[in-house]
Amino acid sequence: MGFKVGLLGLGTVGTGVGKILQSPEGRHPLLQAVELARVGVRSLDKPRDLELPSHTLTTDLAAIVSDPDVDIVIEVIGGLEPARTLILDAIAHGKHVVTANKAVIARFGDEIFTAANQAGVYVMLEAAVAGGIPVIQPLKESLGANRIHAMMGILNGTTNYILTKMQSGGDFDDILAEAQALGYAEADPTADVDGFDAGDKIAILTSLAFGGRVKLDQVHREGIRQVSAADIAYAQKLGFVIKLLAIAKLPPNNNNNQVEVRVHPTLVPEEHPLASVNDAFNAILIEADPLGQVMFFGPGAGAGPTASAVVSDTINIVALLKTGLTAANPDSETIHPLLACSHNSYFDVAPMADLVTRFYARIRTQDHPGVIGRLGTCFGDHEVSLESLVQTDVNDNLAEIAVVTHLVREGDFRQALNEIKSLEAVDSIPSVLRVL
Amino acid sequence: MGFKVGLLGLGTVGTGVGKILQSPEGRHPLLQAVELARVGVRSLDKPRDLELPSHTLTTDLAAIVSDPDVDIVIEVIGGLEPARTLILDAIAHGKHVVTANKAVIARFGDEIFTAANQAGVYVMLEAAVAGGIPVIQPLKESLGANRIHAMMGILNGTTNYILTKMQSGGDFDDILAEAQALGYAEADPTADVDGFDAGDKIAILTSLAFGGRVKLDQVHREGIRQVSAADIAYAQKLGFVIKLLAIAKLPPNNNNNQVEVRVHPTLVPEEHPLASVNDAFNAILIEADPLGQVMFFGPGAGAGPTASAVVSDTINIVALLKTGLTAANPDSETIHPLLACSHNSYFDVAPMADLVTRFYARIRTQDHPGVIGRLGTCFGDHEVSLESLVQTDVNDNLAEIAVVTHLVREGDFRQALNEIKSLEAVDSIPSVLRVL
């Protein structure tokens, strides 16, 4: 019994998928039951890194998702449209779908999974988060005994590469330009550098870990443009490295169906497992009861790792088809309950003012005695207690004071900062970052 | 529809399992369909940390595995017998089995999985390797697109704790005694310290990663008793930490259906992801094509993590039972092909003499000029080239030379060492370790 795949997109990931499907030897034996039947591309004439029979290629992607012979549609064209429409059309035609498209799933997951459940088909998305690192499947199948409290990850390779390089010295703009020259960052780096990509991914992980969706515009998102060489240096002095973390947490004593979901540069203690995740690598750390902490680490992007996840998802669908769990029988009991999306409620995202976290702030002050006392008083008035403090002279008149607080309510800390900003002895507050 | 669990064993892991089953809120909804129906213990009178209806407890474990009402048997009594017999009896009675028993699976996996396949039942073993870290399920379901080349792990928490403590100074014997006092090491530490536990685990992982079994007595096994404070110090000086690694690899250009499987203390480069896995934590690193390197990190033992894996396996079986893949229909097509054990051939284990690796050796010599030259000649005669060398004076007459080689065939290196041992200027070779 063979299963026919329709592949939408033949860029680097699509080519990687094709190469795996064409060389099943040494991989899972089920791959031998998979046939790359149709491949949808934008132009038939482009030179390809993959040999395909000419009748396989087509520019009519809509014909692939409605082809009665196709069992599984793999979507690796990326972007919002026509990807969303093609996925929905594939589902409407009873196809199972494998996608690497975090943007579509983060925005239209509700619509897509509702349609999939109605049609009795699977939509698999391991490749959409953290590339080749298995994290979706483990969340669905390996951690079910647990109450998950928190999840935090380095989910964007480009920003992690930039921050890692900045640790050896250098400013954001220069290293971004270098990363662009090397092809590690795109010409328009906004999606990576401003945290949109990580935001999409943590929204997806939130729904898997906590069983409820979040609206993407409620995800608090700060990018890494604000991180300066000076901050990196202070962080090092204080025993931290700066990482762009995507964090989702159930707030403690939460009675309001709220979840914290946020992406921001974060000071991570040097001895923390995420601190040593460098360059373009990704990692996801999960805190659960009774499991404790587990971390998944690996390549978060790239043709090979992404294709690995896409094809492994395909094998999982084939395994289920082999056992008779087919779209022909769209009775909910025949859909594997761990692989289908079973939730359809939305979490409220907790307001950032209510977040309880540690903070780092760099404060420029006039260089005379008593300034630290006045800062301390302001902080104390707002329940902010300090864990450490480093002072450096900038020039004859200005000093810079870097502080790390104990846990504090974000709203209280911001009020203290506002008061500090208005002190006569204070010149400016060039940066404020959260601390893990 | 409810599913009844028979739990064999109510030690720390069994109690952990019971606690999860009794408090399903906040965990996977499928847990609400699971009932802890019977619990087998050695003595009914022992005080328990778990409240159970009195009719649930029994000392008749054989009655549980043959109970027609029981759907899933969870075996957490450990040891070889009666665990093996109970598992086989459960299978014979059409029960699905979840076990945390690495010793039984490593020795009797062949017998157990053959019986399970014939009976059309699942035997799940996530908890048998690396406690709560999901590694069995990802190997079965998330990496199928790949050709796995190599797998290496820190699979024993006790030895990793001891080696981590030794890095801050201290000899093996003292730190072992301390670990025993703290309950981190057993009174008879042989299973941990001499590598038996890690050997069982890597044998199991080998069959999952490479699709063929290995005979346990063919796993090359060296423990950590031979690792001295001096070796730890030299390793640090040379940029390494010493870890007890369990390694399985397909040898390059392998035409003989061979696999490398070995457990031994290993010098790991400081910047390697496994180098920062400290204390009682476990980690498994997998190298695969086209994925690259992924690593799974977390708690490798303990009641909570182990129970997490056991109950998650149980949920996976329940999910399959819900979809109608039951033992009542033992047609192979109704057994999920990724979750059943599909291989039954055996690998030959490659002889250690053919291993190509780097080595570290510590050599005591008379402290006079020309000794290094003579060592270098011996090494060169056997194709051993040196990567680094550190010399220290021991006393007025003796010097100690620590060398790290480039890649070399183990057989050649051993011959060189034999020759070196017989040199007049050489006093002894206190230690020889492999280098990652």
HSE (CB half, 13 Å, CA atoms) of A199?
22
For A331, other C-beta atoms within 10 Å of its C-beta total 10
pLDDT above 90 for A63: yes
Distance, in Å, from the CA atom of A267 to the CA atom of A233, rounded to the nearest integer, reads 11
- Report chain B residues whose CB lies below 8 A from the CB of A147: 26-27
Pull the structure tokens for residue A304: 């090979």
Q: Can you list the domains of chain B with their CATH numbers?
A: 3-131+303-334 (3.40.50.720), 136-299 (3.30.360.10), 354-435 (3.30.70.260)
Task: Give yes or no for a contact between A127 and A306, defined as CB atoms under 8 angstroms apart.
Answer: yes
CA distance to B149, B262, B263, B284, per residue, from B266 (Å): 19, 11, 9, 15
- Label residue B60 exposed, middle or buried (CB < 10 Å: 0-12, 13-18, 19+): exposed
pLDDT score, position A393 = 87
pLDDT score, position B325 = 56
Shortest CA gap B251–chain A (Å):
14
- Residue of chain B with shortest Cα separation from A323: B334
- Residue of chain B with shortest Cα separation from A125: B142
Contact B336 A315 (CB under 8 A): no
Report the run of H or E that residue A97 belongs to, with start and end. strand A96-99
SS3 call for A254: coil
Shortest CA gap B364–chain A (Å):
36
pLDDT above 70 for B1: no
Q: Which residue has the tokens 């001499």?
A: B194
Contact B294 A292 (CB under 8 A): no
Task: Give me the active site residues of A, please.
Answer: 201
A215-268 residue pLDDT tens? 999 999 999 999 999 999 999 999 999 999 999 999 887 667 899 999 999 999
pLDDT above 50 for B210: yes
pLDDT band at A324 (very low <50, low <70, confident <90, very high): low
Contact A291 B297 (CB under 8 A): no
Contact B322 A337 (CB under 8 A): yes
B201 in catalytic set:
yes
pLDDT score, position A1 = 61
Indicate the Cα dihedral angle A124, A129, A130, A132, nearest 10°.
Answer: 10
- Label residue A24 exposed, middle or buried (CB < 10 Å: 0-12, 13-18, 19+): middle
pLDDT band at A340 (very low <50, low <70, confident <90, very high): confident
Pick the catalytic residue from B165, B201, B243, B249: B201
Q: List phi, psi (to 5°) of A21.
A: -65, -30
Compute the count of residue pairs across chains A and B with CB atoms less than 8 Å apart: 205
This complex has an ipTM of 0.94
CA distance to A29, A364, B34, B109, B120, per residue, from B114 (Å): 19, 71, 27, 8, 10
Pull the structure tokens for residue A8: 């939408």
Distance, in Å, from the CA atom of B256 to the CA atom of B254, rounded to the nearest integer, reads 6
Chain A interface, mutation test: which of B146, B210, B287, most A Cβ atoms within 10 Å?
B146
Q: List phi, psi (to 5°) of B62.
A: -65, -30
B357-396 residue pLDDT tens? 999 999 999 988 889 999 999 999 999 999 999 999 888 8
Q: List phi, psi (to 5°) of A93.
A: -90, 10
Task: Give yes or no for a contact between B142 and B115, defined as CB atoms under 8 angstroms apart.
Answer: no
Q: List phi, psi (to 5°) of A361.
A: -140, 145
Contact B31 A337 (CB under 8 A): no
pLDDT above 70 for B52: yes
Distance, in Å, from the CA atom of A178 to the CA atom of A189, rounded to the nearest integer, reads 12
Q: Which residue has the tokens 């209510």?
A: A354
